[in-house]
Amino acid sequence: MSEKTYLQALNEALRQEMEQDENVFILGEDVGQFGGCFGVTQGLYEKFGEARVMDTPITESVIVGAAAGAAASGLRPVAELMFVDFIGVAMDQLFNQAAKMRFMFGGKATVPMTLRMPQGAGIGAAAQHSQCLESWFMNIPGLKVVIPSSPYDAKGLLISAIRDDNPVVFLEHKLLYGVSGEVPDESYAIELGKADVKRTGADVTVVATSNTVYAALAAAETLKADGIDVEVVDPRCLQPLDKDTILESVKKTHALVVAHEAVTFAGPGAEIAAMVAEEALDYLDAPIKRVGAPFCPVPFSPPLEKAYIPGADAIVEAVKGLR
């Protein structure tokens, strides 16, 4: 166990999986000699060569399509798009091909591909490079959606994603790459679809994802001074969603706030709130609150971008609004 950044944890997961399985390879724009747009694949080109760390043209449709074809042919590709915002030009390859192939062939074909995509605001990249689009992928049967918040989770979940026989969308918030935490040096896997309780509490459940987990933990410390004990649940995967852990927490605290950086309207919190309303309504002592981004493109202006991103203050306000 040693201290590693989120970025280093991802890099180590890729290296270890490539060492133990020769069918694992990487493809994407600038993933080779440059080491990836954010540096996640640095050093892998030198270790494994251009046959297994492949630089592609600037064409996301080819990256995702090639990954789907390679996966259907028995390989385990890990494709990288520079930004999740670019997935629009490759959606057919993802949701009409990769996601449906196993179903259309009666389970005889598998598509073990992982699609890594940075997302999120906070670096001044403006409207076309800063979105959180996880709810798009949650709505597509056949895809798994992973959204880790910590270095430990990032490594274990990426290893599981690579080993999974289904296409996995793996979303990495750009502001998390520098976050540090304790990570085992050896290879390990975290089961997809298992949430993690990041903080135990008795008074209110806050379900938070990705970078917003840290805002929820900060809000919990603020609320502690007011005598409010917050439990923070990180789903880690949005598809499959760990309903049991969320429902158990709500049944204990009798109150729910769902927080994420994606826009509030039709965001992942809408599905989580609906699920709790359908399956645990009688346990709630107050209406469910949602915290998310406003329904507008991500601003380029630094003050406006800061105001756009849901933070600890918004979560504190939502929790206090329950009481």
Q: pLDDT (tens digit, 9 = 90+) per residue, 49-98?
A: 999 999 999 999 999 999 999 999 999 999 999 999 999 999 999 999 99
Domains and CATH numbers, the chain: 2-183 (3.40.50.970), 196-320 (3.40.50.920)
Average pLDDT, integer, range 265-277 = 98
User: 186, 17 in Cβ contact below 8 A?
Assistant: no
What are the two backbone dihedrals, phi and then psi, of residue 109, each rounded to the nearest 5 degrees?
A: -110, 140
Q: Structure tokens of 235?
A: 């789903």
Q: Which of 21, 7, 11 is nearest to 165 (CA)?
A: 21
Is residue 129 annotated as a catalytic residue, yes or no? yes
Spatial strand order in the sheet of 256-263: 196-199, 230-234, 204-208, 256-263, 289-293
The per-residue pLDDT for range 239-251, each reduced to its tens digit, is 999 999 999 999 9
Tell me whether residue 214 is exposed, middle or buried, using C-beta atoms within 10 angstroms of its C-beta: 0 to 12, 13 to 18, 19 or more. buried
- Secondary structure class of 33 (helix, strand, coil): coil
pTM, two decimal places? 0.98
Q: What is the mean pLDDT of the chain?
A: 98
Longest CA–CA separation in the chain, Å: 59
Neighbouring residues of 129: CB distance < 8 A, sequence distance ≥ 6: 83, 85
